[in-house]
Amino acid sequence: VETNAQLIARREQAVPRGVASAAPIYAKYAENAELWDVDGNRYIDFVGGIGVLNTGHRHPKVIAAAKAQEDQYTHTSFQVVPYAPYIELAEKLNALAPGDAPKKTLLVTTGAEAVENAVKIARAATGRPGVIAFTGGYHGRTLLTLGMTGKISPYKKDVGPFPSDIFRAPFPSPRDGITVEDAITGLKNLFLTDAQPERVAAIIIEPVLGEGGYTPVPFEMMHQLREICDQHGIMLIADEVQAGFGRTGKWFAIEHSGVTPDLITVAKSMAGGYPLAGVIGRADVMDAMIPGGLGGTYGGNPVACAAALAAIEAIEEEGLLQRSLDMGEHLKARFAEIGARSAPFRMWDIRGLGAMVAVEFVTDFDTATPDGDFTKRVIAHALKRGLLLLSCGMQGNAVRVMVPLTASDEIIEEGLGIFEAAVAAAVA
Ligand code: PMP
């Protein structure tokens, strides 16, 4: 049996350093919101494989569905011999997505691929090239999506040039003093300076900024984006890769605002731990590309589709949307207590939507200077004490919660206890 130390040494020789790992441990076994490493240490998992496990590690229904599918066929390529689970999942997603218009769904494998395809579809549907994304947005690491991802280090460092006709508008950020009005003015200025609106195919936005810091888009902003898109014939794409499937207490985070997007990108928690992603959209828009224009060898893998159908059923049967709303309220209240007690004037902001919650650390309340080093120490102390955490934010100074919605109150409380101890240790 290999130890963490042995695997760390082997990895250094075998895997490029560009693939960084947040925790210097190696997984052995995981169940619901707990994970054990190869040295036998137990961790409470507040990360869920980066927001993939809203239904927890190895949800029994998900595993049973995947195993049953494995006994029939695991791959035929939907473009050669199609299969029912793809259709069934597409129907389910079309029904879940907001808006009254008929919908269609394309399935692919990764979030970045979903975003790439949403852009292709929007371009084909509008006959226009331009794409507008936002400061701090994260849409993936492929070259087109990197052009849209709004953060240089580490993602974009040294790998340009990026595709043309991608523009950036300001994200409304209380931390940076950017109001909704400022953000909309920035977008309108962009139309005057760089992005001719009749040449813009899509505006893409995360309804809750994910990697960029778990900042919800104010509903008013979302409504204004919808209006601007309608006015200029631009497609509104909601990137729900991280916020979707119950994380915020709705199937899709944009539903909180009441705005209907033209296209939605999905991945992560849709399939409960299997690689699957998709684009859901208005049927007329989705049909813009000619036959053969969409797809990929593995797109909509049948085992992943079966897992997704089971994960969606688990979210429905176990009331996980309501669970997310309740958990979010509880987390926010507990974080406020912990901040006041164990890190006075360090925990500057507690924010989020449903259980998509983050806490932001600063050097002090007077200057509110982001403190990425403090955040790193909190995460390291938490790991030592048996809690997996991940940062987010442009300055890496926020800790985000992506704990399975299936986690028990006891496990959440145990995790919060470790979090408090880690914060106290980071202050000391
Ligand atoms: N969009 C958003 C909002 C994301 O959070 C992510 C992944 N963190 C992606 C796209 C890219 O997904 P993937 O890593 O599966 O390519």
Decide: helix, strand or coil at residue 35.
strand
Decide: helix, strand or coil at residue 230.
helix
Q: Would you state the pLDDT for residue 212?
A: 97
pLDDT digits (tens, 9 = 90+) for 258-282: 999 999 999 999 999 999 999 999 9
The pLDDT confidence band at residue 92, using thresholds 50, 70 and 90, is: very high
Q: Would you state the pLDDT for residue 144?
A: 97
Torsion from C-alpha of 406, 408, 412, 415, nearest 10 degrees: -100
- In this model, does residue 183 exceed pLDDT 90? yes
> How far is the centre of ligand 1, averaged over its atoms, from the C-alpha of 139 (Å)?
5
Nearest CA to 176 out of 359, 390, 428, 349 is that of 349
Strand locations in 207-274 (E): 235-239, 263-266
Task: Indicate if ligand 1 lies below 6 Å from the C-beta of 139.
Answer: yes
What is the best residue among 134, 139, 237, 390 to mutate for testing ligand 1's pocket, by most ligand atoms within 8 Å of CB? 139
Task: Indicate if ligand 1 lies below 6 Å from the C-beta of 111.
Answer: yes
CATH number of 4-58+319-427: 3.90.1150.10
Give the contacts of 256 (CB within 8 A, at least 6 positions apart). 207, 216, 219, 248, 249, 250, 353
Residue 112 CA: nearest ligand 1 atom is 16
The pLDDT confidence band at residue 1, using thresholds 50, 70 and 90, is: confident
What is the best residue among 242, 248, 252, 265 to mutate for testing ligand 1's pocket, by most ligand atoms within 8 Å of CB? 242
Hey, CA dihedral for 64, 325, 277, 91, is it positive or negative? positive
pLDDT digits (tens, 9 = 90+) for 357-374: 999 999 999 999 999 999
Q: Would you state the pLDDT for residue 77?
A: 98
Task: Indicate if ligand 1 lies below 6 Å from the C-beta of 115.
Answer: yes
Give the whole-angstrom CA distance, residue 217 versus residue 348. 19
**Segments making up each domain of the chain, as ranges:** 4-58+319-427, 63-317
> How far is the centre of ligand 1, averaged over its atoms, from the C-alpha of 316 (Å)?
24
Domain 63-317 bears CATH identifier 3.30.559.10: no
Q: What percent of the chain has pLDDT over 70?
A: 100
Q: Would you state the pLDDT for residue 174?
A: 87
pLDDT digits (tens, 9 = 90+) for 333-347: 999 999 999 999 999
pLDDT digits (tens, 9 = 90+) for 235-266: 999 999 999 999 999 999 999 999 999 999 99
Task: Indicate if ligand 1 lies below 6 Å from the C-beta of 126.
Answer: no
Q: Would you state the pLDDT for residue 215?
A: 97
Q: Would you state the pLDDT for residue 203?
A: 99
Q: Would you state the pLDDT for residue 53?
A: 98
Q: Is 378 exposed, middle or buried (0-12, 13-18, 19+ CB in 10 A)?
A: buried
Give the contacts of 199 (CB within 8 A, at least 6 positions apart). 128, 129, 130, 165
Q: Which residue's CA is the nearest one to ligand 1's atom 10?
A: 139
Residue given tokens 């009005």 in the structure block? 181
